[in-house]
């Protein structure tokens, strides 16, 4: 057995390995937490329900919308997900902070956590500057302002068709 042989050569290492395995199993049974660096299959499995209505961000620079079909998948994801995360970061930070505080309170570490130090606050000016710079890099042209719209789509005859008109969500202006 590996552990028996490992113990004969490195007793401290074998004890640390067994302790790591015990802690990992305990965390997964007790809290359902995934202990780094070992990923559990369960965090990647499960069904992704396809909704009838989908929505995406549309970005308008100048007089035209950004053509996402001309961008690579990674570039599309950078734009779409960063906008999505920007809209959700405040509510998500509160949820994550409260969850981590509850979990870490059992280890006494949670009492040291302070919400204002834990949750980053990105103001709209910093984000606008960063997003316009990202957009400039992706489109290879100078961009100092853009309008962000959300557009709803619905599945009809195996394709997405737009529903209603795009709704203005954000306007990012950064100084040149």
Which residues span the domain enclosing 7?
A: 2-43
pLDDT of residue 123: 65
Contact 176, 163 (CB under 8 A): no
Report the C-alpha gap between 129 and 118 in whole angstroms. Answer: 23
Total domain count for the chain?
2
- In this structure, is residue 153 part of a structural domain? yes
In a domain, 116, yes or no: no
pLDDT at 17: 92
Check whether residue 127 and residue 82 sit in a common domain: yes
Give the integer Cα–Cα distance in Å for 105 and 143.
Answer: 46
Q: Residue 169: inside a domain, yes or no?
A: yes
Query: Is 25 a member of any domain?
Result: yes
State the Cα–Cα distance between residues 10 and 4, nearest whole angstrom: 10
Are residues 146 and 79 located together in one domain of the fold?
yes
| Residue 105 belongs to some domain of the structure | no
Q: Which of 122, 135, 132, 139 is nearest to 172 (CA)?
A: 132
Asked, for residue 102, whether it belongs to a domain, the answer is no
Same domain for 75 and 137? yes
The model scores a pTM over 0.75: no
Same domain, 59 and 39: no
Contact 148, 171 (CB under 8 A): yes
78 with 9, same domain: the answer is no
Judge if 133 and 156 occupy the same domain.
Answer: yes
Residues 25 and 63 in one domain: no
Domain identity same for 79 and 130: yes
Q: Are residues 20 and 71 in the same domain?
A: no
- Per-residue pLDDT 10s for the chain (176 aa) are 788 888 899 999 999 999 988 887 777 666 655 555 555 555 566 666 666 788 889 999 988 899 988 999 999 999 999 988 887 776 677 787 788 788 777 777 777 777 776 666 566 788 888 999 999 999 999 988 899 999 998 888 888 888 888 888 888 887 76
**Residue-level pLDDT at 140:** 92
Q: Which residue has the tokens 């302070």?
A: 114
Question: In this structure, are 138 and 157 located in the same domain?
Answer: yes
- The pLDDT value recorded for residue 89 is 76
Q: How far is CA 114 from the centre of its chain?
A: 22
DSSP code at position 52: S
Mean pLDDT of all residues in the chain?
81
Cβ neighbours of residue 160 closer than 8 Å, sequence gap 6 or more: 54, 153, 154
Residue with tokens 């007790």: 30
pLDDT at residue number 48: 64
Residue 110 located in a structural domain: no
Secondary element (H or E) of residue 60 = strand 53-61
If asked whether residues 81 and 128 sit together in one domain, one would say yes
pLDDT of residue 102: 81
Q: How far apart are CA 67 and CA 89, in angstroms?
A: 26
Same domain, 37 and 65: no
Q: How far apart are CA 70 and CA 74, in angstroms?
A: 12
Residue 15 lies inside a defined structural domain of this protein: yes
Q: How far is CA 18 from the centre of its chain?
A: 33
């Amino acid at each position: 057995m590996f552990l028996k042989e490992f113990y004969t050569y490195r007793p401290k290492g074998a004890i640390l390995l067994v302790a790591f395995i015990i802690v990992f199993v305990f965390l997964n049974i007790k809290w359902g937490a995934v202990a780094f660096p070992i990923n559990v299959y369960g965090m990647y499995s499960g069904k992704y329900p396809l909704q009838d209505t989908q929505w995406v961000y549309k970005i308008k620079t100048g007089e035209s919308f950004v053509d996402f079909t001309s961008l690579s998948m990674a570039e599309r994801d950078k734009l779409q997900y960063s906008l999505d995360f920007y809209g959700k970061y405040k509510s998500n930070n509160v949820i994550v902070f409260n969850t981590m505080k509850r979990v870490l309170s059992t280890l006494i570490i949670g009492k040291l956590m302070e919400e204002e130090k834990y949750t980053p606050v990105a103001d709209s000016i910093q984000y606008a500057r960063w997003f316009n710079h990202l957009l400039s890099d992706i489109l290879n042209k100078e961009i100092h302002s853009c309008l962000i719209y959300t557009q709803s789509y619905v599945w009809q005859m195996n394709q997405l068709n737009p529903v209603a008109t795009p709704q203005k969500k954000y306007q990012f202006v950064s100084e040149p």
